[in-house]
Amino acid sequence: MLSNPAATDGDRPQVRPQAEGWKQQTTEDGRPLLQFKQPRVAQPKTHLADLTLAERQAKVAELGLPAFRAKQLSTHYFTHFTSDPDRMTDLPKDAREKLVAEMMPPLLTEVRRLTTDNGDTIKFLWRLFDGALVESVLMRYPGRVTLCVSSQAGCGMNCPFCATGQNGLTRNMSTAEIVEQVVRANEVIAEGALGGLRKDGGHNAERVTNIVFMGMGEPLANYKRVIASVRRMVDPAPEGLGMSARHITVSTVGLVPAINRLAEEGIPVTFALSLHAPDDELRDELIPVNSRWKADEAIDAAYNYFVKTGRRVSIEYALIKDMNDHAWRADLLGKKLNARGRGWVHVNPIPLNPTPGSIWTSSEPDVTDEFINRLEAAGIPTTLRDTRGKEIDGACGQLAAEGDEEPDGAVTEAGGHTGAGTSGTIDIRG
């Protein structure tokens, strides 16, 4: 029994988090397995996106070419989104071939592309050089384009409600593999796949403007490569993509030391904590890493992020029917957030997305409303997130990167549409 009586929740039951339809991996003493170390250490060959511009110049010089070629090559990649030597006409022919071979190894092979009926959401399935599979989701909104990127193949955090964790961690993605998801999405947008002009005649963003690290993996468990990828995203061209750090959201289950380190990086990214329960009794079961860092420690670290950076942080809260959606939990959450201060945080409840085999369901609308009302009454800004891409299993927690049907691993023709349904409309990140 949970110690907190559900006085305000009538006789609503307390459903315990339990893996349904799949077996959660456990340690010998029966606790959910946490994987911080990647079982596979293979990394792709170094790509220019793994390097700073100065490092690229040094490498180009090592290849016996003038260092300024590094800038030209970087411009092709970060501004024109191309790795095709035939399009690099400002470079001498033999130099292009050599530079591309040495500095732009193939990173992502497109295996499958699913597009929602209205065309505003695309889910990509990518194969990495060693056969590992990852996904990214591209979403168009009026005036901006958000890409949800993966940072690991699989995930070691083992959250029972998330599809990605069900197969454990395969390996960390390299810096360039993370960045390449953005470059490839930009290439796809440039080809017009996400639609051109808005219906009202206004312009859509012509490339990815917002990044959320909410695809596969726990970004802070792959800290160094993720931070390097963020630097590449914000570095001005031709060093990087020239994006705004504020439009990049790093989301974590709550790896406290890494959150504190992130607060010292001097990059003003938006920070999101996947809390999902304010009380340890429930969070211990919902977010296995809570055995290491308790809910209060994670909230303290989020608050510290705000103090150090001045950036308001987000608390993510997937609303799961009769599990974490009780009114008293909204009150407790509001109390814990207010105890640290005012104006430093907002809460993003999100209705749970179904995962394969799961019988868990999202909260009823009246319960959802009550949860939000309680937080707002406590003075906490709260925005309900609808979810994009549910019909293509592209919503939060649904990314599992299942392989395609081809037994020989042949690349599938891109551009397939799923059949039915309409996707949600509200954004995944502001």
Residues with catalytic function: 135, 396
Local structure of residue 136 (DSSP, 8 states): E
Convert 230-253 into a string of H (helix), E (strand) and C (coil): HHHHHCCCCCCCCCCHHHEEEEEC
Q: Out of 136, 166, 175, 251, name the contact with ligand SAH by CB under 6 A.
A: 251
Q: Concatenated DSSP letters for 357-425?
A: T----BPPHHHHHHHHHHHHHTT--B-PPP-S-GGGT-STT-------S-TT-PPPPS-EE--S-----
CB of residue 213 to ligand SAH, shortest distance in Å: 6
8 Å CB contact between 51 and 225: no
Local structure of residue 110 (DSSP, 8 states): E
Binding span for ligand SAH by CB under 6 A among 1-9, 90-98, 133-141, 248-256: 248-256
Residue 345 as a binder of ligand SAH (CB under 6 A): the answer is no
Residue 290 as a binder of ligand SAH (CB under 6 A): the answer is no
Alpha-helical (H) ranges within 127-279 are 175-190, 223-234, 256-263
Q: Out of 161, 271, 305, 306, name the contact with ligand SAH by CB under 6 A.
A: 161
CB of residue 165 to ligand SAH, shortest distance in Å: 8
- Cβ nearer to ligand SAH, comparing 103 with 163: 163
Residue 355 as a binder of ligand SAH (CB under 6 A): the answer is yes
Binding to ligand SAH in span 120-159, by CB under 6 A: 157
Q: Out of 156, 389, 397, 424, name the contact with ligand SAH by CB under 6 A.
A: 397
Residue 396 as a binder of ligand SAH (CB under 6 A): the answer is yes
Binding span for ligand SAH by CB under 6 A among 78-86, 240-248, 257-265, 348-356: 348-356
Which helix or strand (DSSP H or E) is residue 146 part of?
Answer: strand 144-148
Tally of residues, the chain? 430
Alpha-carbon distance of 193 to 139, in angstroms, equals 11
- Cβ nearer to ligand SAH, comparing 239 with 393: 393
8 Å CB contact between 124 and 136: yes
Q: Out of 218, 325, 370, 391, name the contact with ligand SAH by CB under 6 A.
A: 218
| Shortest-Cβ-distance residue relative to ligand SAH | 397
Contact string (CB under 6 A) for ligand SAH, positions 312-341, x = contact: ----x-x-----------------------
CB of residue 18 to ligand SAH, shortest distance in Å: 14
Q: Which amino acid is at 271?
A: F
* φ/ψ of residue 131, rounded to 5: 90, -10
Alpha-helical (H) ranges within 206-326 are 223-234, 256-263, 280-286, 295-309
Sign of the dihedral defined by the CA atoms of residues 336, 338, 340, 344, in that order: positive
CB of residue 358 to ligand SAH, shortest distance in Å: 8
> What are the residues binding ligand SAH (CB under 6 A)?
157, 161-162, 214, 218, 251-253, 274, 316, 318, 350, 352-353, 355, 396-397
